[in-house]
Structure 1
Amino acid sequence: MRDKSKLTEACRQNIQAVKDTQDLLSGKWKCCILGMLYFSGKARFMEIHRHIDGIAPKVLSKELKDLEMNHLVKRTVQDTMPITVEYELTAHGESLKPVIEAMEKWGKSYRNNIIVENNK
């Protein structure tokens, strides 16, 4: 293991940036929610819930609040009867485009490799 004192300041800042990103996107569901909103655009709560298998409504609500608090998701309340609430990525959330697309590409490749390996 490297001596921690030998890390450059730039390296420390890079590690901190990765940690900050990890903290922001941590948890089982945040990346799924961001990906769903990225690929589908605006969505209502129940649409998100239907498309993300296994997430409890209470957990979805908490995760959306966290993402909204961190300026990644925008919540818009429509003045309709009944009230409609839509969620979408903010401009800051859209800045995750390369990350989401890289995860999608890697995930498809991984899934294909696993299927090929299992069929040998």
Structure 2
Amino acid sequence: MDTLMIVMKSGPGAIARVGEGLRLSAALIGYDRLPVIVFVGEGVECLREGAFDGSEMVDYLKAASDLAGIHALSESLEARGILPDDLDETIEVNPLDIDGLASMMAECDSVVTY
């Protein structure tokens, strides 16, 4: 079965765009097709504690974390000074470096960005 990577590069200010990506991940999970979800660049800001308070995006993030896993580019976290304590504790984030991202991407059949 084809594997889809969803790269989230938009930050919390682009909630409509982030929402599209998270709803796509939920739809894929609903069809038993686990996407690879990676937050890069400004997108890592979505993983901060309180980034989406009062929004359904928190629920989408939690579900994606529990069922498919959430990855974040470690270089993006470092560039923004985001420490593990800054991340939403209800979302399990797996940091990966650029080489890890490249390897994951090579294993996927398709990549979409939001």
Q: State the TM bucket, normalised to the shorter chain.
A: 0.3 to 0.5
Greater helix proportion: 1
Higher relative contact order (CA 8 A, sep 6+): 2
Q: Which has the larger radius of gyration?
A: 1
TM-score scaled by structure 2?
A: 0.32
TM-score (norm 1): 0.31
